[in-house]
Chain A
Amino acid sequence: MVARVQAGDVDAFETIYKQHAARIYSLASRMAGSTGEGEDLAQEIFLQAYRKMGSFKGDASVGTWLYRLAVNHCLDFVRSRRAKMDRMTETLDGEGAFEPVSRRETTAAKIDLERAIAQLPEGCREAFVLHDVEGFDHKEVASLLGIAEGTSKSQVFKARMKLRALLARRA
């Protein structure tokens, strides 16, 4: 399959896309805090993967290689976005904050959790997604985000406490 993609076979690439799209899209959406940005990121990641497929040596599985590419791309996005910020965005936690209108998400606790994760402040959301959702340990999260291990722990804790408050408000 990889050889076919390396030869420019788009149909073969679609097969790889179908196998891994959900995982990559979920990672991107949760890291970015928005499904819209998740869509853009997923497209960018797969286009980048297609371009880089020629350099894929097969040391790891395609899925592992793609996932690593996706994590790095999401982190670049998050870092670049954070570089534009001079403060944490926590306005959604304020009293009487405007409730964003979303017509795509409708029911169920899982959607509530997804929405709550999307509302987490920059910084603690990435640490939380990488640790609690993606299963990296604090040492790995610290290395990926360029922070201390203790900071990773406190960011994940901060995220959990915010989720606790957000979910309790909706209960």
Chain B
Amino acid sequence: MVMHPDELVINDYVDGALPPGERDIVERHVAGCGECRQLVDDLRDIRRQTAALRPMEPPSRVWTGIERSLRQKKGPYPFFGGAAPYWLAVAAMLVIATAAGTRFITSSRQAPGVAGTSAAPADSADMAKSVEDDLLQAEQHYQRAINGLEQIANADKGALDPHTAATLQKNLSVIDSAISESRAALKAQPTSEPAQASLLDSFRTKIGLLEDTVALINEMRKGNDAGAAQIVSGLKQKS
């Protein structure tokens, strides 16, 4: 019977962390063992792929949110030569609501004993009920944020060119389908953590897109073509 090296030893071998003597032993084994050679090749491949990962560019709404928060603290919104317009203030409040909803996700996703645990039945039922309540609250948070952002976006939709408006509409339809699919999955498996996370992720995606819409309208009103083009480019990548 062939004695394979311990997998952690193979891992150290891949990392070049074995002392010379041990490394030679493993090397000789790997040369003659297809199974271990495959493991070494796979681990090396994962290391190679990981090393090739590039930094990801954050969506434009990340800076928009930061800037909004900083400018609010500094007083009047400078882009408008005075106080921020009503819709911008509402949008800022909605970002806070979104953040609150996000925390609901975290707490509901990590609620102990949700799915597939061995907790006592009564505890499981209580926990399931608690998670469902959390989920409902989070949904309500998101829905309020979505309603508010839709109101803002619809009120100023005229500021967008028809092609961009169509792209936004198309993306919103895709996200709405995802929400419906997630709801259906959740109906079939009410305590499924991935299904809950997926539904909330779809809400968050929708809010993100609506925030992008508001940011785009903001850039167009500022006459910042470069900023607007950057946001539109991001929208196209998502479509």
Contact = CB atoms under 8 A, between A and B. Distances in A.
Contacts of B61: 39
B11 A153 contact: yes
A110 B48 CA distance: 11
B70 A154 contact: no
B201 A36 contact: yes
Nearest to B8: A157
B50 A133 contact: yes
A91 B58 contact: no
Contacts, number: 142
Nearest to B99: A40
Majority DSSP secondary structure for residues of A touching B: helix
Interface residues of B, number: 60
B198 A100 contact: yes
Contact of A157 (B11, B70, B178): B11
Interface residues of A toward B: which range? 35 or more
Nearest to A8: B74
Interface stretch (A56-64, A68-76, A159-167): A159-167
B140 interface: no
A87 B74 contact: no
Interface in B36-65: 42-43, 46-47, 49-59, 61-63, 65
Given A91-B193, A94-B116, A25 B58 contact: yes
B26 interface: no
B58 A39 contact: yes
A39 B113 CA distance: 28
Nearest to A100: B198
Among all A-B residue pairs, the 10 with the closest Cβ atoms:
A22-B55, A25-B58, A86-B112, A100-B198, A98-B194, A84-B110, A157-B11, A26-B55, A101-B178, A132-B50
Contacts of B11: 153, 156-157, 160
Contacts of A103: 174-175, 178, 205, 238
B196 to A, nearest CB: 10
Contacts of A164: 42-43, 46
Nearest to B14: A160
Given A10-B71, A86-B112, A25 B57 contact: yes
A29 B53 CA distance: 13
Contacts of A85: 110, 112
Interface in A80-117: 81, 84-87, 89, 91-92, 94, 97-104, 109-110, 113-114
